[in-house]
Structure 1
Amino acid sequence: MGEDLSRSVPSLPPAIESADLEWRDGQPVSKRFGDVYFSRENGLEETRYVFLAHNRLEERFQALPSGSTFVVAETGFGTGLNFLATWLAWREQAPNDAQLHFISVERFPLTRSDLRRALALWPELEPLADALLVEYPPLVAGTHRLIFDGGRVRLTLYFGEAREAWQSLSFQANAWFLDGFAPALNPDLWAETLIQSVAEHSQPGTTFATFTAVGAVRRALQAQGFTVRKVPGFGRKREMLSGELDSDSRLDAMTDAASADGEILVIGAGIAASLVARNLADRGRRVRVLSKGTGPADGASGNPQAALYVKLGVDYGPETQLALHALLHAQRTYARYDQQCASDGFWHPTGLLQLATTEQEVSRQARFLDRTDYPADVLRPVSAREAGELAGCPVDHGGLWFPASGWLAPAMVCSALLDHPGIICEFGCKVTGIAPRNDAWHVTDQRGRQWRADQVVMTGGHEVSDLLPGPAHYRFRAIRGQVTQLPAEALHDPNTVLCGQSYVNPGHQGYAVTGATFDLRDSDPEVRPSSHRENVEKLDSWLPGIWRDGVHPPIETLRGRTSFRCTTHDYQPVVGPVGAGPEGLFVLTGLGSKGFALAPLLAEWLVDRITGQPACLTAALTDRLTLSRCVSGTR
């Protein structure tokens, strides 16, 4: 929910009800539970005493081996104070190349404005609090992955019930913060089934701490195999509990599935490959990118402009849930990398209008708004008049306004992502074969060069199917798409991305991109005047006021580009292990026309899988994206 947005309790997904606060002496108190979020004496010192000290985090951080991963899990995010205190200790004590994963659940998340007000109480945390506020997601139920310190710190924030979170998330914790309100005020949080989930997500030697000392919590922890100790509490609290899961030895750092010493091969250099390679490199892996082109983004990712856009379903099912969370993650991802870019920038968050330009779309959007509830900082309905004001050009239709979306310069994105000391790029390298040998993967190119790797990630659109090992045939389709570059001086140049029966972007470097055609069973790679005419006539049909002089430019003067998007039989992407041969071969493809929106989140999950780190997506979503569902027979 937006900072200045006041709304009633949402009754429909995906929005989630925010915390209902009152402020007493400048500190937040939950009206719902009648309890404080932190000690009135000193909340930060309480966090350090209860959670950091009694999990021995500073000494454990200092003792971590190079390149390791440490996982902290928490049962109530609240104001984020525990996370920020842990992050600060990590910065000060852990090796520079170690990875911190912090996993937390919140049923009633704070709005961004309440979060800002609460964290302003701790000036020493201000730089970290500001970073958290920038990344803090809209109040949408489900899993959000936030990334800090160049990928050194990852926060997996689940908005929803704790019981649902622990049943659906995949991770093993090294330490638990059993936070939340007092058991008598919030009994659901402390149910025996939830404590059982805590044990299931713990490895031998995992520690815990909680500010409560009630007998029911102590007995539930002991029943799950935890050693429990009563120790002095903080401030006016006489006692608290701490302990660990029984074991003969302590295992403080997770062992990653991919060795930090082994090079990982990524095939392709489009948006999927670039995001996977950079994600791996940011986590300390060495990556070699093999691409047949002469530079980044030479295939389907290489258009001059790309709109960051998804079309959300009328009913909030798994496909729409994935699309929404992917869009939100993509907005954060491109903004974060754009800040690190030394050039003029590739991410343009102009906002995006999805206009209802047909009776069918008017009806669809009406049903969409009736059946679902989205926070206004994700999307909101607008009239034709407001749409025109936002666009800054004549618009005849209302629709949906996505304020945080926009457009990208694809080649700049991919180049910036691949510009990392841990990534080596080899262009002009057309991969012709991938085969298992001696429990590893051997990759061959057109000149007979070979590379050996334990892990290989295949991107590259529909051409992936020609390289996959085994006799299976896969239901991938290559769809021809031609875009048209319209001279900006011929347009009432829009301020924002406009989507109707096609799309048009704001002008950039003298041109605005529109399109693209959707040409099934058409393998012609050439730019055709007939496709330019199709793009112009389609744009003219739903946005006739776009032309400055009332007419479009001569077709024969227009420039453009043709590429081939890869989609699957069910129009859902493919991500995950291949399953043929030894472990270590992965694929990310089938993104269709929504690659720039889907790829950041899918790449994040895929690298979670490759490295054996906590997953940012639930199995309920990723099980629908397996390669095996696309098998149709043998070659």
Structure 2
Amino acid sequence: MTQSQADTFAPLQPAQIDWQAGTPVARVFDDPYFSRDDGPAETEHVFLQGNGLPARFRALPRGARFVIGETGFGTGLNFLCAAALFLDSAPDDTVLHFISAEKHPLTRADLTRALQQWPALRHISDELAAHYPALTPGFHRVWLCQGRIALTLLFGDAGALLQQCRARVDAWFLDGFAPARNPGMWSETLFQAITRLSAPGATFATFTAAGFVRRGLAAQGFEVGRVPGFGRKREMLTGQRPSHWQPVVPLRGQALVVGAGLAGATTARALAERGWQVRVCDPAGIAQHASGNLAGVIYTTPSAHGTAQNRFYQSSYLHSLHWLARYRFPYSVDQGALTGVVQCPPDQRHRDKQRAALGSGLWPTEILRSAGEGWPPDSLLLPAGGYINPAAWCRHLLAHERITVEPCTVTGLTPADHGWHISTSVGPRSVGPHHADAVVLANAAAAAQFEGLHWLPLKQIRGQVSYYRATEASRAWAQAICHSGYLTPAIEGLHCVGATFDLHRLDPAPEAADDARNLAELADNLPLHYAQLGGAQAALAGHRVGFRCQSTDFLPLAGPVPQLLGAAITHLPGLYLNIAHGSRGITGSALCAELIAAQINDEPAPMDKILRNALTPERFILRKRKKQPEWTP
């Protein structure tokens, strides 16, 4: 991690607010967040009318996408006004992407207080407050208003994070604090990022008329003009990139997802929500492999270091919580509960790591805190985490009118002029070929069986989980616990105790010795829970073996499949991977699915460029070529 990356994703300093007669004022910049006279009217004049949005929203073709970029989220007022206008004016099958950067985001309490001032916008502001992300650096994607609006918040410096962004922006709200009070934001870096991200014909509007802002945008090729400002402000700036603006109508076609576990179910749902017809193929059925355990834990491993790997673990954990809230899961006690996860360090190294994470500033207390008394020293609590039944979660995601699940095996993939020809079989009987515009392989290590993919750097790790009957004492357990293994509260009267980790065995048959290992680890790490479960007489009710698929660098492979053409790396059109989640699929698969769906739909990316590069399958080809230039997959 370079110093510039560390600075870009450094711990956040939340906004310090002074409330003056109901108006929030930034203490650092001594500037109000919106007009003291009429905030919504100011937004309507400067940003909505300044970009011509009422007419542009009404004129959108059916199925179109519109993207707004903003340089200061603040209280979210501009977002709320734009979202309300979009919902009222645009066709009902269009989607608004709103990308907004904020270096000093408001706390949830301050945001909620600010939003209460605009009751006319409450139908959106209540949902925004409920899904407002934790104040961690980087990208945060949330879906609102029944999937009509995607809000992507970039917490950190606007110029630096917009450089990490992939999008095609149709209109810009340039709304930081006044240049005289906050000159650092209005930089050449920012203007360059805005230019790179702007669609042909993209517009901008800003409350300021400062000369260096006008000159900076003009130098990037924008046509810039002064127009009357709002209220007592005499002038403001608006402008446009030369060229004729055209709205984008994304492709909505036929998709094939291979695999019906966590990766496949999240990918299928992400595509179906975007209007795709999705066919999911898995000969074993829904969540019958590594995703089929009785319970899995929604958690992450906190770190004090903002590396790409650690940021993915944090971001994917937060995104998985958003998905669970969005799809209202779990909704019964036998599907699990989000009652928190306790992490008990099994040794001194883990104690040091957890203590450092807690004091790093990268983990606000709403998502990480000390577990407190009654737990081993330096134990941590993830208060929003929990445990769920993975198979029930997969079934819940796949229950969508545009998704069909078929118990078939994909036996061949052949490139076609537009997409792929698919050969399948059901038992000994061949079926097909079928056609798909896009194919996503979400079938773990089995993805390497397809032609041209034998190079995938995958390994399988055997794991056995043991199911023990609940006792009168253990039925009171409310939280999942991670130590060197894990322990869950009872689902259907059974606790999950596990799981073994074996790199050298591929035997699918359960072994009594592995059950004994799981129980011994519980005794070593959580002796009170071991005793409450029955100790050496704990009632074993069953067990299950699964094979975790993991990459050699411990991160998933999420993105287009690469190929070498001479010295150039290209991508096989319409073929993607969502694999190698290891033991973290229940947490990591949703963000990877969001990324892949965004790539297929050519829409704004839900994560920064560094994370996208860390997940792309081609990273292994790039690394190998540095060591062996003539290597080909």
Q: Taking structure 1 as the reference length, what is the TM-score of the superposition?
A: 0.91
Alignment-derived partner of residue 3 in structure 2: none
Q: 1:412 to 1:556 in 2, by over 3 A?
A: closer
Alignment-derived partner of residue 184 in structure 2: 188
| 2:599 corresponds to which of 586, 603, 609 | 609
- Given that 2:296 and 2:586 are in contact with CA atoms closer than 8 Å, whether structure 1 keeps it comes out as yes
Q: 1:499 to 1:344 in 2, by over 3 A?
A: closer
| 1:250 corresponds to which of 231, 245, 248 | 245
Q: Quote the offset at 1:435 in angstroms.
A: 2.3
Q: Quote the offset at 1:109 in angstroms.
A: 0.6
Alignment-derived partner of residue 535 in structure 1: 518
User: 1:434 and 2:429 equivalent?
Assistant: no
| 1:168 corresponds to which of 164, 168, 173 | 164
The DSSP-based 3-state class of the residue aligned with 1:598 is helix
Q: 1:363 to 1:250 in 2, by over 3 A?
A: closer
Q: Quote the offset at 1:412 in angstroms.
A: 1.3
User: 1:99 and 2:95 equivalent?
Assistant: yes
The DSSP-based 3-state class of the residue aligned with 1:457 is strand
Q: Quote the offset at 1:267 in angstroms.
A: 0.8
Matches for 1:305-320 after TM superposition, within 5 Å: 305-320=295-310
Alignment-derived partner of residue 26 in structure 1: 22
- Given that 1:104 and 1:157 are in contact with CA atoms closer than 8 Å, whether structure 2 keeps it comes out as yes
Q: Quote the offset at 1:472 in angstroms.
A: 4.2
Q: Quote the offset at 1:598 in angstroms.
A: 0.8
| 2:267 corresponds to which of 268, 273, 276 | 276
- Given that 2:8 and 2:156 are in contact with CA atoms closer than 8 Å, whether structure 1 keeps it comes out as no
Alignment-derived partner of residue 627 in structure 2: none
The DSSP-based 3-state class of the residue aligned with 1:236 is coil
Q: 1:549 to 1:353 in 2, by over 3 A?
A: closer
Paired letter, 1:375: P
The DSSP-based 3-state class of the residue aligned with 1:474 is coil
Paired letter, 2:338: P
- Given that 1:490 and 1:548 are in contact with CA atoms closer than 8 Å, whether structure 2 keeps it comes out as no
- Given that 2:333 and 2:491 are in contact with CA atoms closer than 8 Å, whether structure 1 keeps it comes out as no
Matches for 1:508-547 after TM superposition, within 5 Å: 508-547=491-530
Q: 1:438 to 1:23 in 2, by over 3 A?
A: closer
- Given that 1:533 and 1:555 are in contact with CA atoms closer than 8 Å, whether structure 2 keeps it comes out as no
In structure 1, what is the Cα distance between the partners aligned to 2:601 and 2:453?
28
User: 1:84 and 2:80 equivalent?
Assistant: yes
Paired letter, 2:381: W
User: 1:408 and 2:388 equivalent?
Assistant: yes
In structure 1, what is the Cα distance between the partners aligned to 2:97 and 2:187?
25
Q: Quote the offset at 1:312 in angstroms.
A: 3.0
C-alpha root-mean-square deviation of aligned residues, in Å?
2.2
The DSSP-based 3-state class of the residue aligned with 1:338 is coil
Alignment-derived partner of residue 480 in structure 1: 462
The DSSP-based 3-state class of the residue aligned with 1:479 is strand
Paired letter, 2:167: F
Paired letter, 1:246: P
Alignment-derived partner of residue 369 in structure 2: 380
Paired letter, 1:254: V
Paired letter, 1:617: M
The DSSP-based 3-state class of the residue aligned with 2:236 is strand
In structure 2, what is the Cα distance between the partners aligned to 1:46 and 1:351?
42
Q: Quote the offset at 1:124 in angstroms.
A: 0.8
Paired letter, 1:283: R
Q: Taking structure 2 as the reference length, what is the TM-score of the superposition?
A: 0.92
The DSSP-based 3-state class of the residue aligned with 1:146 is strand
Q: Quote the offset at 1:169 in angstroms.
A: 0.6
Alignment-derived partner of residue 568 in structure 2: none
Paired letter, 1:523: L
The DSSP-based 3-state class of the residue aligned with 1:593 is coil
User: 1:68 and 2:64 equivalent?
Assistant: yes
Q: 1:347 to 1:492 in 2, by over 3 A?
A: closer
With 191-200 and 326-335 compared, the bigger mean Cα shift is at 191-200
Partner deviation per Cα, 1:498-555 (whole Å, 9 max, x = no partner): 1111110111221111111112222222222222111111111111111456743657
Alignment-derived partner of residue 444 in structure 1: 423
Matches for 1:477-626 after TM superposition, within 5 Å: 477-489=459-471, 491-493=473-475, 494-548=477-531, 551-552=534-535, 554=537, 557-580=540-563, 582-626=572-616
Alignment-derived partner of residue 258 in structure 2: 267
- Given that 1:529 and 1:556 are in contact with CA atoms closer than 8 Å, whether structure 2 keeps it comes out as no
In structure 1, what is the Cα distance between the partners aligned to 2:133 and 2:359?
23
Alignment-derived partner of residue 366 in structure 1: 355
In structure 1, what is the Cα distance between the partners aligned to 2:260 and 2:536?
34
Q: 1:435 to 1:241 in 2, by over 3 A?
A: same
Count of residue pairs the alignment pairs up: 608
Matches for 1:283-322 after TM superposition, within 5 Å: 283-294=274-285, 296-322=286-312
Structure 2, unmatched stretches of 5+, are 1-6, 564-570, 625-630
- Given that 1:491 and 1:546 are in contact with CA atoms closer than 8 Å, whether structure 2 keeps it comes out as no
Alignment-derived partner of residue 351 in structure 1: 340
With 103-112 and 523-532 compared, the bigger mean Cα shift is at 523-532
Alignment-derived partner of residue 115 in structure 2: 119
- Given that 1:13 and 1:374 are in contact with CA atoms closer than 8 Å, whether structure 2 keeps it comes out as no
In structure 1, what is the Cα distance between the partners aligned to 2:225 and 2:166?
28
In structure 1, what is the Cα distance between the partners aligned to 2:632 and 2:170?
45
Q: Quote the offset at 1:272 in angstroms.
A: 0.8
In structure 2, what is the Cα distance between the partners aligned to 1:365 and 1:238?
54
Q: 1:314 to 1:218 in 2, by over 3 A?
A: closer
Partner deviation per Cα, 1:295-340 (whole Å, 9 max, x = no partner): x21111111111012223343211111111111111111121126x
With 145-154 and 433-442 compared, the bigger mean Cα shift is at 433-442
- Given that 1:569 and 1:630 are in contact with CA atoms closer than 8 Å, whether structure 2 keeps it comes out as no
Q: Quote the offset at 1:13 in angstroms.
A: 6.7
With 494-503 and 573-582 compared, the bigger mean Cα shift is at 573-582
Q: 1:438 to 1:73 in 2, by over 3 A?
A: closer
With 166-175 and 232-241 compared, the bigger mean Cα shift is at 232-241
With 361-370 and 440-449 compared, the bigger mean Cα shift is at 361-370
Partner deviation per Cα, 1:403-427 (whole Å, 9 max, x = no partner): 111111111111111111111221x
Q: 1:214 to 1:399 in 2, by over 3 A?
A: same
The DSSP-based 3-state class of the residue aligned with 2:489 is coil
Structure 1, unmatched stretches of 5+, are 1-10, 389-394
In structure 1, what is the Cα distance between the partners aligned to 2:118 and 2:532?
57
In structure 1, what is the Cα distance between the partners aligned to 2:25 and 2:336?
39
The DSSP-based 3-state class of the residue aligned with 2:128 is helix
In structure 2, what is the Cα distance between the partners aligned to 1:240 and 1:150?
35
In structure 2, what is the Cα distance between the partners aligned to 1:332 and 1:368?
22
